[in-house]
Amino acid sequence: MIKPVDNAKHSDSDICPVWQPVGYSTHQISKQIGNLYRQKASHTGTLDPLAEGVIIILLGEERFKKYELAGWKKTYEFEIAFGFGTDSYDAMGMIRQNGSENMGLEKNELGRTVAGFIGEYVQKVPLFSATRYQGKRLFVHARSGMEIPDLPEKKGTIYKIELLDLMDANLKDVVLEIIENLNKIVGDFRQDPIIEEWKNFLKKPGITDTKIQIAKVKVVISRGMYVRSLSQDIAKAAGVPGFVTSLTRTGNGMYTKKDCKTLEELFGKNYGRDLFVSTFTRI
């Protein structure tokens, strides 16, 4: 049992906003916070291991409000690297499309494309996700090699969306940052073979001088929607492959980063990463 540190205090309502860093599992953070306060704990929604941002941990009786509170709008900032695609729609995936060059996108035109997604929105869920299909999580089917010809759909609402920037980036630098973040992941999320694939990608001729374009997008969206899938729809509308290289949940209902406890504040500055080891899952 983890002993609470002196400054490990949550709100009186037992609703505890926490900043999840890159590499961690929402489920394991929830479990360890429950252990910390010697209460049963739950959460209102997960973040992917390569994402960071606001998660809401519910303690005690508040956990019975999980589905009610999960309905809050979510705000995200994310980056899409154009010219490539992966099987997971983010950097934690195997490369499936490879353009490896500046795609010649124009900022104003892309901005109009992005703005066109405001309103009711239907997306295909990612293959590497926890959505159920034929009685099993999709990621279980993916690991077994089963092909899903028609992925399930989700319906939601995009309340606001805007293109914040369109930048040129050195491909080698982007891949090195991807590998750095993959090495932060705690647990088994098939990151080892993915890291190896990205390392092999770095050996390709000319990669040092290759430039790609990266879009930074901000979106306010309804519950349960996948930003990874949204990135695919944006890339498709722009006529190029793409995948998410960075994802931050900046808002969860009324809560933002300034409202959040960090893991260091909760568990002390010397907390062990092994507390948060998780088995393979994608949510």
* Tens digit of each residue's pLDDT (9 = 90 or more) over 79-126: 999 999 999 999 999 998 776 556 789 999 999 999 999 999 999 988
Are residues 135 and 53 both part of a single domain? no
On the question of pLDDT at 208 being above 80, the answer is yes
- Averaged pLDDT, 147-163: 90
pLDDT score, position 148: 75
Same domain, 78 and 189: yes
Mean pLDDT of 235-259: 97
pLDDT for residue 153 is more than 80: yes
Residue 4's pLDDT is what?
39
Q: 283 in a domain, yes or no?
A: no
In a domain, 281, yes or no: no
DSSP state of 128: S
Tell me: do 94 and 36 sit in the same domain.
no
What pLDDT score does 259 carry?
Answer: 97
pLDDT of residue 96: 85
For residues 151 and 33, membership in a common domain is answered with no
First to last CA, the chain: 27
Q: Kindly state whether residue 3 falls inside one of the protein's structural domains.
A: no
Residue 184 has pLDDT above 80, yes or no: yes
Residue 79 contacts residue 218 (beta carbons within 8 Å)? no
**Who's near 18: CB < 8 A, 6+ residues apart?**
29, 33, 54, 55, 56, 57, 260, 261, 262, 263, 266
61 with 129, same domain: the answer is no
Task: Give the per-residue pLDDT at 188.
Answer: 74
User: Are 65 and 190 found together in one domain?
Assistant: no
Same domain, 67 and 196: no
User: Residue 100's pLDDT is what?
Assistant: 54
Query: 35 and 85 in one domain?
Result: no
Kindly provide the b/e burial profile for residues 183-206, where b requires at least 16 CB atoms within 10 angstroms of the residue's own CB. eebbbebbbeebbeebeebeeeee
Structural domain includes residue 4: no
- Do 59 and 88 belong to one domain? no
Rounded to 5 degrees, φ, ψ at 233 are: -70, -40
pLDDT at 19 over 80: yes
pLDDT at 273: 74
In a domain, 33, yes or no: yes
| Average pLDDT across the chain, whole number | 88
Residue 278's pLDDT band (boundaries 50, 70, 90)?
Answer: low
Quote the number of domains for the chain.
2
Assess if residue 122 is contained within a domain: yes
Is the same domain home to 185 and 49? no
Same domain, yes or no: 104 and 194: yes
Same domain, 127 and 179: yes
Stretch 49-78: mean pLDDT:
94
**pLDDT at position 235:** 97
Cβ atoms within 10 A of the Cβ of 52, count?
21
More confident site: 156 or 131: 156
pLDDT at 139: 66
Q: Clarify whether 274 is annotated catalytic.
A: no
Over residues 150-177, the mean pLDDT reads 95
List the CATH number of the domain containing 64. Answer: 3.30.2350.10
Owning domain of residue 35: 15-71+254-276
Give the active site residue among 6, 48, 87, 150.
48
Phi then psi dihedrals of residue 274, to 5 deg: -65, -15
* DSSP H helical ranges for 76-127: 107-115
